[in-house]
């Protein structure tokens, strides 16, 4: 048997969760004489139902039931603006609940057994031990397609400076953010406890005058990622196509969706035929662009843009351009294009 699914016998009788016995969470019949009888009514993923954890973790469970990790409502609200009211009803019934919602994270999916992603699973994180934190097996397994591999330098080739200094996911992302704070948010942008660079890097306290001046001049105009992203990150160029999907490295600077700042953008193309199989044409497809603001996790203190003003204001390196937009993309993509202002010399 694959060792990833074997329970560490040393935990039995010592781990507080296992002392209550398997049936306390997984059900079944512990008095049965045969395997078949014992497994009748077995619940393989008990924490899919939050009420399983609630008796011992009441407040955390109540908060988590409203968290974005559990509801995945951010995914829904990120795409329904492309649809008519009637299509939204169809999406909720035929796509969101049956497909998108499958990505929700249960308690056990982070603390006991990593969920299979793309049909691949690693089994129990640590022999059925309830792990408090292990970013390499919990966060990385779901967020390893983009965030974690960029952060460690496995994708893009340049590790984030915070990773090189020993920082891991929960050093910035608090447990309140992960578990929720009891409020029902419609998007991650609404979460009050989201990490922010200024939480650790206070403007005006820089050691170098050039850094203080640059931050002051760009404040409110350019995001931190816009200057400090080390380079290319993963972009999905053929997502949601029926035959295949493909990711490529890329880098793009453009206007944030709120229209306020220049920032790094990631191509995540919900194409016009994405939900064709369930009869949704997305009648308002052009209401949203195919490029999303992205907090690139490949931050460096020094990049081409921090070393020279010319990189942006003269050469325009990395800026989104009309001729480079995704083919047959949304008309809203053009609204994200920004032309850098020339320097006064």
Cα–Cα dist 244/247, whole Å:
10
Query: Residue 241's pLDDT is what?
Result: 47
- Give me the count of residues in the chain: 345
Statement: residue 243 has pLDDT above 60 = no
For the chain, the domains span 47-195, 196-345
Query: Residue 245's pLDDT is what?
Result: 64
Query: Residue 247's pLDDT is what?
Result: 80
Written in H, E and C, the secondary structure of the chain is CCHHHCCCHHHCCCCCCCCCCCHHHHCCCCCCCCHHHHCCCCCCCHHHCHHHCCCCCHHHHHHHCCCHHHHCHHHHHCCHHHCCHHHHHHHHHHHHCCCHHHHCCCHHHHHCECCCECCECCCECCCCCCCCCCCCCCHHHHHCCCHHHHHHCCCCCCCCHHHHCCCCHHHHCCHHHHHCCCCCCCCHHHCCCCCCHHHCCCCCCCCCHHHHHHHHHHCCCECHHHHHECCCEEEECCCCCCCCCCEEEECCEEECCCCCCEEEEEECCCCCCCCHHHCCCCCCHHHCCCEEECCCCCECCCCHHHHCCHHHHCCCCCECCHHHCCCCCCHHHHHHCCCCCCCCC
Q: pLDDT tens across 161-199, in order?
A: 999 999 999 999 988 899 999 999 999 989 888 899 999
User: Which strands sit side by side in the sheet containing 262-267, from one edge to the other?
Assistant: 253-255, 262-267, 291-293
Give how far Cα 321 sits from Cα of 239, 254, 285, Å: 21, 9, 21
Of 61, 32, 44, nearest in space to 5 by CA: 44
Query: Which residues are bridge partners to 319 per DSSP?
Result: 253
Cα–Cα dist 138/69, whole Å:
13
Other beta carbons within 10 Å of 307: 9
Other beta carbons within 10 Å of 332: 16
Cα–Cα dist 111/71, whole Å:
18
pLDDT category at 321 given cuts 50, 70, 90 is: very high
Query: Which residues are bridge partners to 263 per DSSP?
Result: 254
Residue 288 contacts by C-beta under 8 Å, 6 or more apart in sequence?
Answer: 79, 81, 82, 270, 330, 332
Average pLDDT, the chain: 88
Statement: residue 59 has pLDDT above 70 = yes
Q: Residue range 241-253: average pLDDT?
A: 75
Cα–Cα dist 167/95, whole Å:
37
Q: What is the pTM of this model?
A: 0.88
Statement: residue 264 has pLDDT above 80 = yes
Query: Residue 242's pLDDT is what?
Result: 52
Query: Residue 240's pLDDT is what?
Result: 52
pLDDT category at 308 given cuts 50, 70, 90 is: very high
């Amino acid at each position: 048997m694959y060792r990833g699914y074997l329970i560490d016998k040393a935990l039995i009788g010592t781990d507080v969760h296992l002392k209550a016995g398997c049936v306390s969470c997984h059900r079944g019949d512990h008095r049965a004489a045969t395997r078949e009888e014992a497994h009748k009514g077995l619940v393989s993923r008990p924490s899919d139902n939050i009420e399983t954890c609630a008796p011992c973790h009441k407040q955390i469970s109540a908060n988590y039931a409203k968290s974005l990790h559990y509801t995945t409502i951010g995914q829904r609200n990120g795409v329904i603006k492309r649809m008519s009211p009637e299509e939204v009803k169809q999406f909720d019934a035929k796509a969101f609940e049956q497909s998108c919602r499958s990505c929700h994270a249960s308690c056990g999916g982070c603390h006991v057994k990593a969920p299979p992603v793309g049909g691949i699973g690693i089994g129990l994180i640590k022999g059925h031990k309830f792990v408090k934190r292990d970013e390499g097996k919990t966060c990385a397994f779901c967020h390893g397609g983009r965030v974690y591999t960029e952060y460690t330098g496995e994708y893009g080739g340049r590790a984030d400076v915070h990773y090189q200094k020993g920082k891991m996911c929960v050093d910035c992302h608090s447990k309140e953010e992960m578990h929720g704070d009891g409020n029902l948010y419609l998007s991650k942008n609404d979460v009050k406890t989201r990490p922010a660079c200024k939480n650790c890097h206070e403007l005006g306290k820089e050691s170098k005058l050039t850094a203080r001046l640059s931050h002051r001049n760009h404040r409110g105009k350019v995001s931190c990622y816009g200057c400090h992203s080390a380079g290319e990150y993963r972009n999905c160029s053929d997502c949601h196509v029926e035959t295949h999907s493909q990711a490529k490295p890329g880098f793009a600077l453009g206007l944030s969706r709120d229209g306020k700042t220049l920032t790094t953008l990631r191509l995540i193309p919900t194409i016009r035929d994405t939900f064709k199989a369930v009869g949704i044409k997305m009648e308002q497809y052009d209401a949203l662009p195919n490029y999303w603001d992205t907090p690139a996790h490949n931050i460096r203190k020094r990049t081409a843009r921090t070393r020279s003003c010319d990189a942006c204001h003269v050469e325009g390196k990395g800026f989104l351009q009309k001729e480079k937009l995704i083919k047959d993309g949304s008309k809203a993509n053009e609204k994200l294009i920004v032309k850098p202002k020339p320097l006064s010399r």
